[in-house]
């Protein structure tokens, strides 16, 4: 069982690192199409990362040890979090891996380091990004926790592996609750990946500056790490949504054919979700920063509704 699980983890990490940049480019491509542009090639993010790795790393003269440590800490936290969400293969969890609260808090670790990184260089851009990121995350956190509590409620477990396992064996969309869950999870996905209407990942202009503002001072391999970890985080949240709501095709037995099929299934489902994200983003305008809590309240009420339905049903 343990070797099985280790293999599962290695598979997960490998797949998530390899696929994530693809989804980032796909969303960009979709947005470009809706705007009548051709857009970057679908493998552009891979080229960008390769190029960044070749460049020298520049540190600000004001930067302290935080700037040297934070990109690695971010990446390590996100990669560890990637072990918690089964992508293509689901097995018995081990040693608390897959615990949904631990997963969320690993994402918070990454965010904590990123926020410090933004402030370390002493630039006003980074500071503004960090300040907004922490504010948004503070306001979205109750919603996220309630959504995950609702998940735990519906699946009767705290473990993501068990949830996905239950979803696979139960088929899908048996109850309307899952639709409500899907909406809430989608809003969390949008917020956590800093997309319109919360933030615009394309620019670091003053108006939208949250995520991009924080990493403005990064360069070379550090920037590559930050970009890749953001991409992986996005894929993880997408995978959570996909594998709980439409869990078709996930491998439950360990065979090369099943894994390969599951990987292809996942890429297809992920691409469809990327298309939806792109279209959603294109159909919206950036919200004023202080209007955001309203959006979060929406997700909050959906998840509270789920819980109330579950409690009184």
Which of 20, 130, 193, 234 touches other proteins by CB under 8 A?
130
CB closer to other proteins out of 131 and 282: 131
Q: Tell me the CA distances in angstroms from 246 to 62, 147, 213, 305, 311, one per residue in order.
A: 48, 18, 35, 21, 24
| Complex with other proteins: residue 20 or 137, whichever CB lies closer | 137
Query: Residues 102, 261, 287, 309: which binds other proteins (CB under 8 A)?
Result: 102
Q: Which long-range contacts (CB under 8 A, 24 or more apart) does 95-99 make?
A: 97/5, 97/9, 97/161, 98/159, 98/160, 98/161, 98/162, 99/158, 99/159, 99/160
80 binds other proteins (CB under 8 A): yes
139 binds other proteins (CB under 8 A): yes
Asked if 135 interacts with other proteins (CB under 8 A), we say: yes
Q: 250 φ, ψ to 5°?
A: -70, 135
Q: Which residues contact 152 (CB under 8 A, 6 or more apart)?
A: 100, 158
What is the smallest separation between the CB atom of 286 and other proteins, expressed in angstroms?
Answer: 16
List binders of other proteins among 218-277 (CB under 8 A).
220-221, 224-225
Report the nearest approach of other proteins to the CB of residue 134 (Å).
4
Cα-to-chain-centroid distance, residue 144: 13
Residue with Cβ nearer other proteins (27 or 107) = 107
Residue in the structure block whose two tokens are 């590559």: 224
* Residue 73 vs 239, nearer CB to other proteins: 73
Name residue, tokens 């989608």: 186
Query: Does 131 contact other proteins by CB under 8 A?
Result: yes
Judged by CB under 8 A, does residue 53 bind other proteins? yes
Please list every residue from 31 through 50 that binds other proteins, using CB under 8 A: none
């Amino acid at each position: 069982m343990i070797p099985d699980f280790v293999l599962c983890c290695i598979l997960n990490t490998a797949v998530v690192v390899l696929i994530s940049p693809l989804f980032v480019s796909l969303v960009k491509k979709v947005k470009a199409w809706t705007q009548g542009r051709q857009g970057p090639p679908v493998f552009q993010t891979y080229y960008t990362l390769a190029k960044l790795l070749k460049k020298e790393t520049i540190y600000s003269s004001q930067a302290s040890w935080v700037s040297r440590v934070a990109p690695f800490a971010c990446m390590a936290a996100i990669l560890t979090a990637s072990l918690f969400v089964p992508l293509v293969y689901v097995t018995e969890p081990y040693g608390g891996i897959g615990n949904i609260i631990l997963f969320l808090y690993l994402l918070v670790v990454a965010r904590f380091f990123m926020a410090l990184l933004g402030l370390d260089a002493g630039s006003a851009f980074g500071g503004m990004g960090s300040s907004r990121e922490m504010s948004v995350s503070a306001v979205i956190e109750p919603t996220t926790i309630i959504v995950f509590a609702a998940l735990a409620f519906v699946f009767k477990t705290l473990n993501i592996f068990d949830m996905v396992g239950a979803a696979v064996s139960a088929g899908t969309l048996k109850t309307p609750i899952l639709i409500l869950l899907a909406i809430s999870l989608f809003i969390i996905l949008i917020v956590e990946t800093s997309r319109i209407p919360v933030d615009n990942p394309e620019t670091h202009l003053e108006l939208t500056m949250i995520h991009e503002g924080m990493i403005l001072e990064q360069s070379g391999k550090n920037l590559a790490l930050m970009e890749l970890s953001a991409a992986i985080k996005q894929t993880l949240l997408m995978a959570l949504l996909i594998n709980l709501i439409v869990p078709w095709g996930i491998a439950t037995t360990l065979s090369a054919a099943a894994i390969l099929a599951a990987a292809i299934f996942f890429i297809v489902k992920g691409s469809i979700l990327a298309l939806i994200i792109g279209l959603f983003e294109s159909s919206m305008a950036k919200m004023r920063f202080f209007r955001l809590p309203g959006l979060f309240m929406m997700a909050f009420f959906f998840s509270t509704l789920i819980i109330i339905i579950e409690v009184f049903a």
